[in-house]
Amino acid sequence: MTNSVDAIVLGAGVVGVSAAVHLQRRGLAVALVDRKMPGAETSYGNGGLIQREGVYPYAFPRRLSVLLNYAGNRAPDVRYHVGALLKTAPFLLRYWRHSRPDRHAAIARLYAPLIEHCVAEHRMLAEAAGASDLIRHQGWFKIFHDARTQEAQTREAQKWFDEFGVAFEACNAAALRQAEPDLSPSLIGGLRYPDADTVSDPGALTAAYARYFESLGGRILHGDANTLEPGWSVRTQEGVVTARAAVVALGPWSSDLVNARLGYRLPLAVKRGYHRHYAPAPGARLTHPVLDVANGFLLAPMSRGIRVTTGVEFADRDAPKTPDQIAAVEPMARELFPLGQAIEAEPWMGARPCTPDMLPIIGPAPRHRDLWFAFGHAHHGLTLGPVTGRLIAEMMTGAETFVDSAPFRADRF
């Protein structure tokens, strides 16, 4: 059986689902194709932050002292597999070059218009999907053990405010304890970003957006994106689906299709990460996500418990798990907040799709007509899912785009 639609969206993470929603809302008949259920992969495992403050994407460290610290491969926030580090060395060199302060500032000016709309676009989709209860409008905290780190982070927050109007609140130890009384009394203070939203279950939010897509008449099909053929067609369990246009929103798997099968040479890499849920100790409560800046892990109150997320692991995407970071930060997390038993038998692992210039790839494929790209969001996939979905739908339907799309085109490489 052959099915015909206007557009195929490949990938049912938050970016792909959001693109499918916005295309369907604009009157196109859309098929959303993935091998798993919506929100079951990368969009499931993150800190649940919609980062309105995230105007500066995460840069590669350039200070020699920081790099030497990471070289020992024992830092809690960054780990690596030696073989993967050697294989991705050209990518990392480009990443390091783009992280030069003046270049990073220029990138932030291109990136900030996307970030500016992230909260509003999520709230709009969540309300339409009947999922507003999954989003909390209370912000999140960075927390500090020492004055030097606090002062440096406060200067950075002031810079973001001066350049982009990103609000922040500096908190001393007493104010932090008032907001989160069960955190360790050894903390000296924090920074709160009040305009950011947080999510109690990112996977459930993505699934809710997918149900909204279906309520609009969209179809969710199970299939292998790597069967995509120019034309465009893809094989699914429900039969072959054909369409005038296709959108690649496969996150860390985008390179399998775009580079390996379609012949592009886009510079894509992954940063792996881990999380695990813990029950809070009896009587303990955490209201806001809190980032331990010194040690690079996040505690986030989720529907399943307290989610402990790690920093970055440079490794092959499909290499076996090496959850050393979770093992390293769990004792620190327990000192920070009274955690009970782990809920899962083992940590979850996922991969963040990254580009060396820290900007996502959003727009038309350079060499294939009616093929569109929407991937490479690194640490901000959840944050920018609905923004990207709206932008790609506007581009595909010839509408005026609500932000300038030029910085994110694939032909910049």
What confidence tens digit (pLDDT) does each residue in 207-228 have? 999 999 999 999 999 999 999 9
- Domain 2-45+203-267+356-412: which topology? FAD/NAD(P)-binding domain (3.50.50)
- pLDDT exceeds cutoff 90 at 298: yes
- pLDDT exceeds cutoff 80 at 291: yes
2 pLDDT tier (thresholds 50, 70, 90): low
Residue 405, class by beta-carbon neighbours within 10 Å (0-12 exposed, 13-18 middle, 19+ buried)?
Answer: middle
- pLDDT tens per residue across span 300-350: 999 999 999 999 999 999 999 999 999 999 999 999 999 999 999 999 999
- pLDDT exceeds cutoff 80 at 159: yes
The answer to whether the beta carbons of residues 405 and 361 sit under 8 Å apart is: no
The average confidence (pLDDT) of the chain is 96
Q: At what angle do helices 202-215 and 381-396 cross, to 10 degrees?
A: 20
What pLDDT is recorded for position 107? 98
- pLDDT exceeds cutoff 60 at 405: yes
- pLDDT tens per residue across span 79-96: 999 999 999 999 999 999
Concatenating the DSSP letter of every residue in 223-247 gives: B-GGG-BTTTEEEETTEEEEEEEEE
Phi/psi-derived region of residue 111, left when phi > 0, alpha when psi is between -120 and 50, beta in every other case = alpha
Percentages (nearest 5) of helix, strand, coil residues in the chain: 40, 25, 35
- pLDDT tens per residue across span 370-393: 999 999 999 999 999 999 999 999
CATH number assigned to the domain covering 55-199+269-353: 3.30.9.10
Helix or strand (DSSP H, E) at 126 = helix 118-128
Q: What gap in Å lies between CA 367 and CA 375, rounded to an integer?
A: 17
Domain extents in the chain? 2-45+203-267+356-412, 55-199+269-353
Q: What gap in Å lies between CA 388 and CA 18, rounded to an integer?
A: 7
Q: Percentage of the chain surpassing pLDDT 90?
A: 98
Instruction: State mean pLDDT over 271-284.
Output: 97
What pLDDT is recorded for position 253? 98
The answer to whether the beta carbons of residues 4 and 239 sit under 8 Å apart is: no
